[in-house]
Structure 1
Amino acid sequence: METKTFLTQLQDRVQQIKDTAHYAFSPLDVAVLNFKLQPTSWSVLECLEHLNRYSRFYLPALEKAIAQTPVSSATQPVKYSWLGKKSLDLVNPESPKKHKTLARMNPQNSQLTTAVLDEFLQHQDTLLHLLGKAESVDLNKKAVPVEFFQLLKLRLGEALEFVVLHEQRHLQQALRVKERASQPISLVV
């Protein structure tokens, strides 16, 4: 897929993520946002905090990579490395397979407030801005370190797509938690 189409699709997805998070979670009370299906599962805010932790790493890395990457044609096709394909498969929102996260990225049992949602929405604005800036650079340049092992680098396009797919995956998780939190509790007598 050529660069401009690729980035437009990612921008549309990020805008949808931002809109969904805002309209689905902003009206909710903090108690609902902290509801957990079970002690080891994540609440809505924990899902968003997990994404915030990744954004705190990847957004500055993406910004730096975009600033340092040579200008390129918007008609150039986006290519994938084996590492990029593997990373995208891991976070694909269509995959039912669960994966453990790194301890430092796991917000389980955190005391969270609606500031988490505010930060998440700000990250979406930053990501939209970066996607706009990426239109003029070579998305096939290996420029973005992998968070858990920074000697490995993703191509710029792969890293952008990774962030978006990861957000979609955990937004779906947060929406499922919200749905369960909104269901009436039935007592068995």
Structure 2
Amino acid sequence: MKKVFLMASAVLMLSFLAVDPISKKERSYAAKLLKETEKGVKDQVKGLTEAQLKFKPAPDRWSIEECVKHIAKSEEALWQMTESAIKATANPDKRSEIKVTDEQLVQKVEDRSMKIKTMEKLMPENIPFKDTDEALESFKKNRDKLIDYVKSTEADLRNHVTALPFGMVDSYQMILFIAAHSNRHTQQIIEVKADPNFPK
């Protein structure tokens, strides 16, 4: 009986010592940002006509449909990149190379004053979704999975560090990047709708 009691006490002590890989506050912040930015995309597209979805403000600018296709395909590509970093060996020694806070990263990605050319496979003309509805369906499915992941993962996201063009980030920040990226292009959709020639 004494042995059983000692074992139970040891298990209890270890459970108190176990550290959540990301804090409750971090989980909440990421999930909230993912939900809000998903809603932002859906709200801006809701009720638009085919003419409105396909309207291009200029030959070299994207239509709303093209923005949505890019958002949906990027959601897949960015998560694949993040998942690869999480599955790789943890590299906490690289944390010192991270120069942005979570908030700074979100602001940087959402800032449309900084123009960035996307990679070829994420250009709308190279994305296989047949229309806005199909792209939105893919986006929602992948975003819902990501929100569930953030709420439940036990992965040590902070100690899996990867390189982006502007510097090193950890895997938790990559999830914030995904959310902020969709908001960046929601702003682009709003810009298209504000064009004086946008169909009524």
* TM-score, scaled relative to structure 1: 0.70
Q: Which runs of 5+ in 2 are unaligned?
A: 1-21
Name 1:129's counterpart in structure 2: 148
Identity across aligned pairs (percent)? 22
Q: Give 1:101 shift.
A: 1.2
RMSD: 3.5
Instruction: Tell me if structure 1 keeps the 8 A contact 2:51–2:199.
Output: no
Instruction: Tell me if structure 2 keeps the 8 A contact 1:142–1:153.
Output: no
Q: Give 1:105 shift.
A: 1.3
> Does 2:99 align with 1:96?
no
Name 2:178's counterpart in structure 1: 163
> Does 2:47 align with 1:27?
yes
Q: Which runs of 5+ in 1 are unaligned?
A: 71-78
Q: Give 1:128 shift.
A: 1.0
Measured in 2, the distance between the counterparts of 1:92 and 1:57 equals 16
Q: Give 1:58 shift.
A: 2.7
Q: Give 1:4 shift.
A: 2.4
Measured in 2, the distance between the counterparts of 1:133 and 1:64 equals 18
Deviations 1:21-52 (A, max 9, x none): 22321311222112111011011121121122
- Structure 2: which amino acid aligns with 1:99? I
Bigger radius of gyration, 1 or 2?
Answer: 2
Instruction: Tell me if structure 1 keeps the 8 A contact 2:161–2:168.
Output: yes
Measured in 2, the distance between the counterparts of 1:181 and 1:121 equals 30
* TM-score, scaled relative to structure 2: 0.67
Name 2:78's counterpart in structure 1: 58
- Structure 2: which amino acid aligns with 1:57? A
Structure with more of its chain in helix, by fraction: 2
Deviations 1:154-175 (A, max 9, x none): 4211211211121111111112
